[in-house]
Structure 1
């Protein structure tokens, strides 16, 4: 199953949405890669097994379950998560790409590629729609948390 959607970060027509710079959005995406337990419900801990300038090999712990993945960072552009399929977990990838069509607009594109089967039955179609909805809600939450992180860094007295 493949799924993709776009979340608008900056909306020049909506004064109630606080604008964010590309760099602030990128910092939030890096934070999500390095400290996913702040973003992912049910994740107990994350161990970074290895690190290079552009990759992280991680082990994610959900109770008794462990998932391994590889995160590839393209600075100020995109973050790609590759999850290895196991008997217990669907494999696949998630790529979050920053898109900035002009100075005022900023978007974050989420692209999922999973090993879930294509929808060829009504049950499979319903399952896929539930998964897509969960992904969308999780992504909206990610953007909300990045906004909170950016706002906290702007507050007086916060040295981070």
Structure 2
């Protein structure tokens, strides 16, 4: 099993965003991750179970997965892999307040095609960490752009 958890500051340079704006961005990413995750080539919602739970099919690094998404407003989105070669849980969490906002991503995954503790599993973990770090950075950037447009329109 591989486990990674990392938090990035949300505000600093440029337009500051609020928790509510960041939450809206996470909901957008949950529904369509393509603008946020460069290694993902397909993302389709296949079943809306409730207002806060839905399933989606994704293709990530040319591998197909089914994920159950759980929106835990106002600060956590959980992606539970329910089908594919890599199963487990991924979470995006909003931490802090508007003055010290952070976005944490965490994942605990089992890679079926790699022996636990092997160099293959380690390489997969490093690739996942790099992919998710990019996804968190692009999520923050996209939300910042939305906030800039809102300010410009006012």
Distance 1:110 1:58 in 2: 19
Aligned positions, number? 150
Aligned residue runs from structure 1 range 6-21, under 5 A: 6-11=7-12, 16-21=13-18
> Which structure 1 residue ranges, 5 or more long, are not aligned?
none
Name the CA shift for 1:7/1:67 in 2 (closer, same or farther; >3 Å). Answer: same
Task: Give 1:149 shift.
Answer: 2.8
Q: Is the Cα contact below 8 Å between 1:46 and 1:61 reproduced in 2?
A: no
Q: CA deviation at 1:115?
A: 0.5
TM-score by length of 2: 0.80
Matched, 1:23 2:20: yes
Secondary structure of 2:48's match? strand
Q: What residue in structure 2 maps to residue 81 of structure 1? A: 79
Listed as ranges, the gaps of 5+ residues in structure 2 are: none
1:111 equivalent in structure 2 = 106
1-side partners of 2:81 and 2:3: how far apart?
A: 14
The structure that has the greater radius of gyration is 1
1:134 Cα deviation (Å)? 2.6
Do the aligned partners of 1:49 and 1:59 also contact (CA within 8 Å) in 2? no
State the TM-score, normalizing by the size of structure 1. 0.77
CA RMSD of aligned residues (A): 2.7
- The structure with more strand, counted as a fraction of residues: 2
